[in-house]
Amino acid sequence: MRKITILGSTGSIGKQTLEVIREQKNIEIVALTANQNIELLEQQIHEFNPKCVVVMDEKKAMTLQKKMGHKTEVLWGMDGLITVSTLSEIDLVVTAIVGMIGLRPTIAAIKSGKDIALANKETLVTAGAIIMDLVKKHNVRLLPVDSEHSAIFQCLNGEQTSAVESIILTASGGPFRGYTKKRLEEVTLEQALKHPNWSMGAKITIDSSTLVNKGLEVIEAKWLFDLRREQIQVVVHPQSIVHSMVEFIDGSIIAQMGLPDMKLPIQYALAYPERVINPYPRLKLGDIGTLTFEEPDLQVFRGLALAFDALREGGSMPIVYNAANESAVDMFLKQEIKYKDIVTIIDQAMTKHNVTICKDETDVIEIESWTRNIVRNR
């Protein structure tokens, strides 16, 4: 029996993780966490009987504890997240929380020897070097949940790292594929929140439309698979059937395919190294008909180009790329800025930043605060 904590169980990945667990009877939920949606958390408590849950707000946690009685312990805040990520009885943490808030609990989990099923890409983007060192030191598994990285992980099964020439991340291109710079300027919040292929949380949906999501995934891949910047390619594939590919030194390319359904990579991470049967719809290539591929337009989608710049600069620059984007997307969702401002804000923050090397999470959080300040005061 695998015993797990899910950070962010009320979000898109969190809910789909619970769907997977409903099918796979050999996983026990020890802890769940939520930010705002306490009502859904309550339903999850009734169904899965976790030993503990975490709510970010102290008052809401108190109210929930009164309702739950002694059956489930209700913790709160960052301390709560760290506690449930390091419980002695768990062996894996699913990081389905959104944003850099996932950093400290993930690091704490690795330090206590827990395997990680990583959905929270912002963590690896901002602290890749620190996390990969800790993963080695504590001999834990970092299992990708992001569909592209799960695809690459599957393509690399049984291969030597030295045999890898490059990886090819696929991108759907988002709702604004083919747009000109000019047309992109008029995009509304409503349009940006409609992704053609995937149903996801609001932040990653906006990130997918700007291609910043692909930028974050480029940086995520660098750390997960120990690659140089030149070894990472992006290709636009609007059907989202090929989830990503690996090109080997002999010129052979291996791809992983499937319907766009996050339950598959989630299940793969939870069951790894096994494969397990499931009742989900199957891909029928004859029904799909055509798979197409095209180069991304880096002039129009500057959000992706800036990720490669951040990688080239290295050190603390990816933190600035990520934190400026988190702040900007947050403002865009509140309709405080225009769509086109998101990428301008990232660009400006990166231009103002002098790269340093972060030795631990405190340094990372310091650069994050610096960036948020720069964005706020612009």
| Tokens 């299992």, residue located | 143
C-alpha 152/C-alpha 26 separation (Å) is 26
Assess 80 for contact with ligand NAD (CB under 6 A). no
**Window contacting ligand NAD (CB under 6 A); options: 12-20, 60-68, 236-244, 284-292:** 12-20
| Tokens 């609001």, residue located | 202
When the beta carbons of 46 and 359 are compared against ligand NAD, the nearer one is 46
- As given in the structure block, the two tokens for residue 58 are 């102290």
Assess 146 for contact with Mg ion (CB under 5 A). yes
When the beta carbons of 44 and 172 are compared against Mg ion, the nearer one is 172
Q: How many Cβ atoms sit within 10 Å of the Cβ of residue 371?
A: 26
Phi, psi dihedral angles at 193 (to 5 degrees): -85, 0
C-alpha 219/C-alpha 333 separation (Å) is 24
CB 366 to ligand NAD: min, Å:
19
Assess 244 for contact with ligand NAD (CB under 6 A). no
Q: Give the CA count within 13 Å in the CB-facing half-sphere of 26.
A: 8
Q: How many Cβ atoms sit within 10 Å of the Cβ of residue 251?
A: 7
97 binds, among Mg ion, ligand NAD, none (CB under 5 to 8 A by kind): ligand NAD
C-alpha 349/C-alpha 371 separation (Å) is 7
CB 207 to ligand NAD: min, Å:
7
Binding test (CB under 6 A) with ligand NAD, winner from 51, 104, 114, 121: 121
51 SS3 class: coil
When the beta carbons of 95 and 371 are compared against Mg ion, the nearer one is 95
Assess 150 for contact with ligand NAD (CB under 6 A). no
Assess 122 for contact with ligand NAD (CB under 6 A). yes
* Residues at the contact surface with ligand NAD, assessed by CB under 6 A: 8-14, 34-36, 56, 96-98, 101, 119-122, 146, 198, 200-204, 262
* Residues at the contact surface with Mg ion, assessed by CB under 5 A: 146-148
